[in-house]
Amino acid sequence: MDTSQPVILEMKGISKAFPGVQALENVDLVVYGGEIHGLVGKNGAGKSTLMAILMGIHQMDSGTLEINGHRFTSMTPHEALEAGIAYVPQQVRMMDSLTVAENILAGNLPVNRLGLVDWKATYQEAQERLHKLGLELDVHERVEGLGVVEQTMLAIAKALFSNAKLIILDEPTAALSRVDIDRLFGFVRSLKKMGVAFIYISHHLEEVFEICDRVTVLRNGQLVGTYVVSELDIPKLIRFMVGEDIRDYERSSSKQDDPVLVVKGLTRRGHYEEVNLVVHKGEVVGLSGLAGSGAASLGRALFGLERRGIGEIWVNGKPFTARDPRQALDQGLAYLPQDRYRFGLVGSRPVRENVTYTILHQLLNPAGLISFFKERTLVQRYINDLGVVCPSPEQRVNLLSGGNQQKVVFAKLAATRPSILVLHEPTQGIDVRAKIDIYRIVDELASQGVAILIISSEVRELLGVCDRILVMYNGKITAEFKAGEPVTTPENILLTIEGGNIYEQKQMDPVRS
């Protein structure tokens, strides 16, 4: 590390609490000029909160923040921009239908004597500015016509034109091919030579090793440490990320022998290839993978929300042919979507209605109308069984807490009495207490004989609840871990999720020592 460079950013002792969660506790982060600084940690480790504080979106509860020698005790998003902090998200948002030049010079387009835009000067100036950064783009092109990587590079360039000193790159490579990643990294390295600092957030640890100088690891809102990348390797880094905390939830298996869901050779180009999996009655199977590994689209496809591609699927020994959610439910497959606000719940309607959407046809009286008596009894039973905390079944669902909303989705699915339940990130965005409740419900359903497939990136949670964990990488199932076997450790699972092979890393010792 070149310590002759000035300190661009110094965050010290940052703490931040949200209702019910200590999101950050006493976290430090120092970034030098001309440094590419990795920031890693599992979902919920506090990366986004830390960045939100740096961007002035959230205010820290305590701690100090120094940018370029200026000290801030509180900061607005505007002040953060002024101080030279820029954020480049995974999906860059610009004025898509305008040209590259207009986007670069937006707000101060050169004008001629008549007060009209001087287009010639516009294009020339934009071209020159890009050239200085070593970025060659056609400034006449509309932004929507650029590739994803060009858009990201343009966003970085634009940030620099407005005097950014520190650029936060949030998962910039998630949608990029290898060739594009190389282009982006080349550009970032050349800017680094000019003294620009970067904070690089990624779940792809290999990339962290490829591009970063140092890396800061967060776990459960706490700082694990900041390390020089050349002195680390991937297994070590994973161990730092995972830590040694105890399992969240213990259970006994209720697995029976009859297979409920059988998938054979399912292939959809660009999403997943040759997927084979079996889930038995009463079994809980985890499926984990990075974004884009195909695990998420497999879940949606099973439920009929997306095209499924070719291959065989059997549910309870019968071919599964559902083309839309209704048919999937009728054939015994229910799905809990990742985005419960968009796909899980009708937020403005009451709990009662949300619970019974899937089974209205069972609640009709002889006149073909909904029997409110039957409905109320059923809804009340699910509210009691699942422990949904709500003032009344008539409460609008979007006024409940995240955990209770998720329980309502569970009630809605459980009401269909499914044979196989596919859960996609069932504990996302809910607090610890509710997480345990959710896994208790999963356990309860499994012991009633429901086969359960959990698609989740929360490896530790999966370890607590699953009989088996499958790992998907690049569209293929690459590994299988059975509960209770010595090889089934969070470190090994994370390694395969990252695309590694545990048998090539024999020297890896267990963490528990």
Partner 1 sequence: MSRSKWIQFVLDRMIWFILLLVILFFWLRAGDKFLTGINLINILLHASVLGVLTIGQTICLLSGNFDLSAEGAVSLLTVLAAWLMLPYREMTLAQAGGIGWELSPFIVIPIILVLGTVIGWINGFLITRLRMNNFIVTLAMQLFLRGLAFVISLGAIMPGTPKEFNWLGGGRIGAIPVSVIVTILLFLGFEFFLKYSRFGRELYAVGANRDAARASGFKPALTITKAYMIGGFMAGLASWMLLGRLEVSVPTLGVGMTLETVASAVIGGVALSGGSGSIMGAFSGVLLLSVVDTGLNLMEVDPFWVTGVRGLIILVALLLEVQKARIRVGAVATRSGSSTGTAAKS
Site residues, partner 1 (CB under 8 A): 19-20, 303, 305, 324-326, 329, 335, 337, 342-349, 353, 356-358, 360-361, 364, 368-370, 372, 399, 412, 416
The Cα 301–Cα 295 span in angstroms is: 10
Q: Angle 179-185-191 (CA atoms, 0-180°, nearest 5)?
A: 145
* Residue 10 or 431 with smaller CB distance to partner 1: 431
Answer yes or no: are the C-beta atoms of 180 and 211 closer than 8 Å. Answer: no
Rounded to whole angstroms, what are the CA distances from 62 to 15, 17, 73, 223, 383?
5, 10, 8, 15, 40
State the minimum distance, in angstroms, from the CB of residue 393 to partner 1.
14
Give the residue with the Cβ less far from partner 1, 190 or 377: 377
For residue 103, give the H/E element and its range.
helix 100-105
Backbone angles phi, psi at 393, to 5 degrees: -65, -15
Query: Minimum Å distance from CB 336 to partner 1?
Result: 9
Question: Can you tell me the distance from the alpha carbon of 73 to that of 61, in angstroms, rounded to the nearest whole number?
Answer: 10
- Output the smallest distance, CB 397 to partner 1, in A: 10
Is the Cβ of residue 94 or residue 408 nearer to partner 1 in the bound state? 408
Select 189 or 433, whichever has its Cβ closest to partner 1: 433
- Cβ proximity to partner 1: between 11 and 409 the closer is 409
Tokens 């950013």 -> residue: 9
Residue 19 CB, nearest approach to partner 1 (Å): 5
CB of residue 337 to partner 1, shortest distance in Å: 6
Which of 135, 103, 137, 94 is closest to 122 using CA atoms? 103
Question: Shortest Cβ distance from residue 320 to partner 1 (Å)?
Answer: 16
Q: How far is the CB of 322 from partner 1 (least distance, A)?
A: 10
**Whole-number Cα distances in Å, 501 to 109, 479, 493:** 53, 9, 10
**In the complex, minimum distance from the CB of residue 356 to partner 1, in angstroms, rounded to a whole number:** 8
Element (H, E) at 411: helix 402-414
The minimum distance between CB 436 and partner 1, in angstroms, equals 17
The residues, ordered by sequence, that sit 6+ positions from 138 with a Cβ below 8 Å of its Cβ are 100
Q: What does each C-alpha distance from 397 to 114, 341, 350, 417, 497 come to in angstroms?
A: 57, 10, 5, 22, 35
Q: Which is nearer to partner 1, 299 or 500 (CB)?
A: 299
What does the block give as tokens for 256? 């029976």
- Enumerate the β-bridge partners of residue 10: 30, 66
**Which residue lies nearer to partner 1 by CB, 173 or 331?**
331
CA distance 165 to 83: 8
Q: Which CB atom, from 99 or from 358, has the smaller least distance to partner 1?
A: 358
Tell me how far, at minimum, the Cβ of 426 lies from partner 1, in Å. 15
How many other C-beta atoms lie within 10 A of the C-beta of residue 291? 13
Cβ-based nearer residue to partner 1, 95 or 360 = 360
Give the C-alpha separation, 499 to 325, whole Å.
32
Find the angle CA(469)-CA(474)-CA(476) to the nearest 5 degrees: 55
In the structure encoding, which two tokens stand for residue 334, read together? 């229910």
Task: Give SS3 for 64.
Answer: strand
In the bound state with partner 1, the residue whose beta carbon lies nearer, of 258 and 357, is 357
